[in-house]
Protein backbone atom coordinates (compact mmCIF):
# COMPACT_ATOMS: atom_id res chain seq x y z
CA UNK A 1 0.00 0.00 0.00
CA UNK A 2 1.29 3.45 -0.87
CA UNK A 3 1.91 6.14 1.74
CA UNK A 4 -1.34 7.91 2.62
CA UNK A 5 -1.21 11.67 2.05
CA UNK A 6 -2.71 14.63 3.89
CA UNK A 7 -3.73 18.23 3.09
CA UNK A 8 -4.37 21.78 4.52
CA UNK A 9 -5.78 25.25 3.69
CA UNK A 10 -5.77 28.70 5.28
CA UNK A 11 -8.48 29.69 7.73
CA UNK A 12 -8.39 33.14 9.26
CA UNK A 13 -7.98 33.11 13.00
CA UNK A 14 -10.10 35.31 15.19
CA UNK A 15 -11.29 35.71 18.72
CA UNK A 16 -14.96 35.61 19.62
CA UNK A 17 -15.84 37.75 22.62
CA UNK A 18 -19.01 36.96 24.52
CA UNK A 19 -20.10 40.52 25.13
CA UNK A 20 -23.55 41.11 26.61
CA UNK A 21 -24.63 43.43 23.76
CA UNK A 22 -23.90 40.95 20.95
CA UNK A 23 -26.84 39.17 19.34
CA UNK A 24 -27.26 35.50 20.26
CA UNK A 25 -25.99 34.42 16.82
CA UNK A 26 -22.65 36.14 17.60
CA UNK A 27 -22.22 34.28 20.89
CA UNK A 28 -19.88 31.25 20.94
CA UNK A 29 -21.80 28.08 20.21
CA UNK A 30 -21.81 25.08 22.53
CA UNK A 31 -20.39 22.08 20.62
CA UNK A 32 -22.83 19.32 19.62
CA UNK A 33 -21.61 16.38 21.77
CA UNK A 34 -22.53 13.84 19.06
CA UNK A 35 -20.57 15.77 16.42
CA UNK A 36 -17.51 16.72 18.45
CA UNK A 37 -14.44 14.50 18.45
CA UNK A 38 -12.06 14.89 21.40
CA UNK A 39 -8.37 14.08 21.00
CA UNK A 40 -6.36 14.11 24.20
CA UNK A 41 -2.68 14.93 23.59
CA UNK A 42 0.10 15.19 26.16
CA UNK A 43 -0.15 19.00 25.94
CA UNK A 44 -3.95 19.22 26.16
CA UNK A 45 -7.31 18.55 24.57
CA UNK A 46 -8.29 19.17 20.95
CA UNK A 47 -11.95 19.46 19.93
CA UNK A 48 -12.92 18.73 16.34
CA UNK A 49 -16.32 19.63 14.96
CA UNK A 50 -17.39 16.74 12.74
CA UNK A 51 -18.95 17.72 9.40
CA UNK A 52 -21.51 15.08 8.36
CA UNK A 53 -22.95 17.74 6.04
CA UNK A 54 -19.75 17.44 3.96
CA UNK A 55 -18.70 13.82 4.43
CA UNK A 56 -21.32 11.59 6.10
CA UNK A 57 -19.51 8.33 5.37
CA UNK A 58 -16.19 9.54 6.73
CA UNK A 59 -17.80 11.03 9.83
CA UNK A 60 -19.64 7.77 10.49
CA UNK A 61 -16.32 5.86 10.21
CA UNK A 62 -14.49 8.25 12.56
CA UNK A 63 -17.32 8.06 15.11
CA UNK A 64 -17.28 4.25 15.01
CA UNK A 65 -13.49 4.01 15.32
CA UNK A 66 -13.50 6.48 18.22
CA UNK A 67 -16.24 4.51 20.01
CA UNK A 68 -14.19 1.32 19.55
CA UNK A 69 -11.07 2.97 21.05
CA UNK A 70 -9.21 2.38 17.76
CA UNK A 71 -7.38 5.72 17.84
CA UNK A 72 -6.22 5.51 21.47
CA UNK A 73 -2.42 5.45 21.58
CA UNK A 74 -1.86 5.91 17.83
CA UNK A 75 1.09 8.12 16.85
CA UNK A 76 1.38 11.09 14.53
CA UNK A 77 3.63 9.41 11.96
CA UNK A 78 3.97 12.26 9.47
CA UNK A 79 4.19 15.87 10.66
CA UNK A 80 5.26 18.58 8.23
CA UNK A 81 5.56 22.06 9.80
CA UNK A 82 3.39 24.62 8.02
CA UNK A 83 1.47 21.84 6.26
CA UNK A 84 -0.14 19.11 8.36
CA UNK A 85 0.04 16.46 11.11
CA UNK A 86 -1.05 12.97 10.02
CA UNK A 87 -2.21 10.10 12.21
CA UNK A 88 -4.66 7.20 12.33
CA UNK A 89 -2.36 4.36 11.25
CA UNK A 90 -2.09 1.62 13.88
CA UNK A 91 1.25 0.49 12.39
CA UNK A 92 2.77 3.99 12.58
CA UNK A 93 4.21 3.59 9.07
CA UNK A 94 1.65 5.46 6.98
CA UNK A 95 0.53 2.26 5.23
CA UNK A 96 -1.97 0.81 7.71
CA UNK A 97 -5.64 1.23 8.42
CA UNK A 98 -8.61 -0.25 10.22
CA UNK A 99 -10.23 -3.63 9.59
CA UNK A 100 -12.98 -1.92 7.58
CA UNK A 101 -13.15 -1.47 3.81
CA UNK A 102 -11.84 1.75 2.33
CA UNK A 103 -14.25 4.64 1.88
CA UNK A 104 -15.42 6.31 -1.31
CA UNK A 105 -14.23 9.90 -1.67
CA UNK A 106 -16.61 12.63 -0.49
CA UNK A 107 -15.09 15.73 -2.04
CA UNK A 108 -16.76 19.09 -1.48
CA UNK A 109 -16.25 22.72 -2.42
CA UNK A 110 -15.33 23.52 1.19
CA UNK A 111 -11.80 24.97 1.35
CA UNK A 112 -9.12 23.42 3.53
CA UNK A 113 -7.67 25.89 6.02
CA UNK A 114 -5.85 26.08 9.32
CA UNK A 115 -7.51 23.51 11.58
CA UNK A 116 -9.25 21.61 8.76
CA UNK A 117 -9.32 17.85 9.22
CA UNK A 118 -9.24 15.60 6.18
CA UNK A 119 -9.01 11.97 5.18
CA UNK A 120 -5.58 10.71 4.21
CA UNK A 121 -5.47 8.35 1.22
CA UNK A 122 -3.26 6.93 -1.52
CA UNK A 123 -3.28 8.32 -5.07
CA UNK A 124 -6.61 6.52 -5.53
CA UNK A 125 -9.37 8.85 -4.25
CA UNK A 126 -11.38 5.91 -2.87
CA UNK A 127 -8.75 4.58 -0.43
CA UNK A 128 -9.38 6.61 2.73
CA UNK A 129 -9.77 4.31 5.74
CA UNK A 130 -8.74 5.44 9.24
CA UNK A 131 -5.89 7.88 8.65
CA UNK A 132 -6.45 11.60 8.80
CA UNK A 133 -4.57 14.88 8.94
CA UNK A 134 -4.97 18.20 10.68
CA UNK A 135 -3.91 21.25 8.66
CA UNK A 136 -1.47 23.87 9.93
CA UNK A 137 -1.62 26.54 7.23
CA UNK A 138 -2.08 27.72 3.64
CA UNK A 139 -0.19 24.84 2.03
CA UNK A 140 -3.29 22.63 2.39
CA UNK A 141 -5.41 24.94 0.22
CA UNK A 142 -4.13 23.06 -2.84
CA UNK A 143 -5.91 19.91 -1.59
CA UNK A 144 -9.38 21.47 -1.60
CA UNK A 145 -11.71 19.45 -3.81
CA UNK A 146 -9.22 16.56 -4.04
CA UNK A 147 -9.31 15.27 -0.46
CA UNK A 148 -12.29 14.61 1.79
CA UNK A 149 -12.70 17.31 4.43
CA UNK A 150 -14.65 15.87 7.40
CA UNK A 151 -13.94 18.15 10.36
CA UNK A 152 -12.46 21.33 11.78
CA UNK A 153 -10.59 22.08 14.98
CA UNK A 154 -12.75 24.35 17.15
CA UNK A 155 -10.54 24.28 20.26
CA UNK A 156 -6.96 23.30 21.08
CA UNK A 157 -5.13 24.08 17.84
CA UNK A 158 -2.27 25.34 20.01
CA UNK A 159 -1.78 21.70 21.09
CA UNK A 160 -1.71 20.50 17.47
CA UNK A 161 0.98 23.12 16.81
CA UNK A 162 3.18 21.39 19.44
CA UNK A 163 3.11 17.90 17.83
CA UNK A 164 6.67 16.69 17.17
CA UNK A 165 7.66 17.17 13.50
CA UNK A 166 9.19 14.57 11.19
CA UNK A 167 8.47 11.90 8.60
CA UNK A 168 8.43 10.03 10.94
CA UNK A 169 9.24 12.11 14.01
CA UNK A 170 12.21 10.77 16.01
CA UNK A 171 9.97 10.66 19.10
CA UNK A 172 6.39 10.72 17.77
CA UNK A 173 3.54 12.17 19.78
CA UNK A 174 0.45 10.05 20.38
CA UNK A 175 -3.27 10.54 20.59
CA UNK A 176 -3.68 9.40 24.20
CA UNK A 177 -7.48 9.08 24.05
CA UNK A 178 -9.95 9.79 21.26
CA UNK A 179 -13.70 9.85 21.84
CA UNK A 180 -16.90 11.69 21.06
CA UNK A 181 -17.78 14.44 23.53
CA UNK A 182 -21.11 12.60 24.05
CA UNK A 183 -19.14 9.55 25.22
CA UNK A 184 -16.76 11.46 27.53
CA UNK A 185 -14.62 8.97 29.42
Instruction: Pick the range with the lowest mean pLDDT from 16-20, 82-86, 140-144, 157-161.
Output: 16-20
Mean pLDDT of 152-171: 98
pLDDT at 24: 44
pLDDT digits (tens, 9 = 90+) for 109-123: 999 999 999 999 999
Residue 23 DSSP class? -
pLDDT at 28: 58
CATH fold of 34-183 reads Cyclophilin (2.40.100)
Instruction: Pick the range with the lowest mean pLDDT from 13-17, 54-58, 105-109, 161-165.
Output: 13-17
Residue 34 phi/psi, 5-degree rounding, is -80, -15
Instruction: Tell me the helix, strand and coil percentages in the chain, rounded to 5.
Output: 15, 25, 55
Residue 63 DSSP class? H
Averaged pLDDT score across all residues of the chain: 88
Which residues fall within 8 angstroms of residue 22, CB to CB, at 6 or more apart? none
Instruction: Pick the range with the lowest mean pLDDT from 11-15, 62-66, 71-75, 101-105.
Output: 11-15
Q: How far apart are CA 33 and CA 183, in angstroms?
A: 8
Give the whole-number percent of the chain exceeding pLDDT 90: 82
Q: Is the pLDDT of residue 7 over 60?
A: no
Q: Where are the chain's structural domains?
A: 34-183
Amino acid sequence: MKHRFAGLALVALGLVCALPFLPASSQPQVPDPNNTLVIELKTGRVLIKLRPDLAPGHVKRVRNLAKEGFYDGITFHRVIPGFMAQTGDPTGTGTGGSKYVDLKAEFSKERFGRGSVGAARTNDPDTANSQFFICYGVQCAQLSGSYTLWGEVIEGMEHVDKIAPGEPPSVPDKMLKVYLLANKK
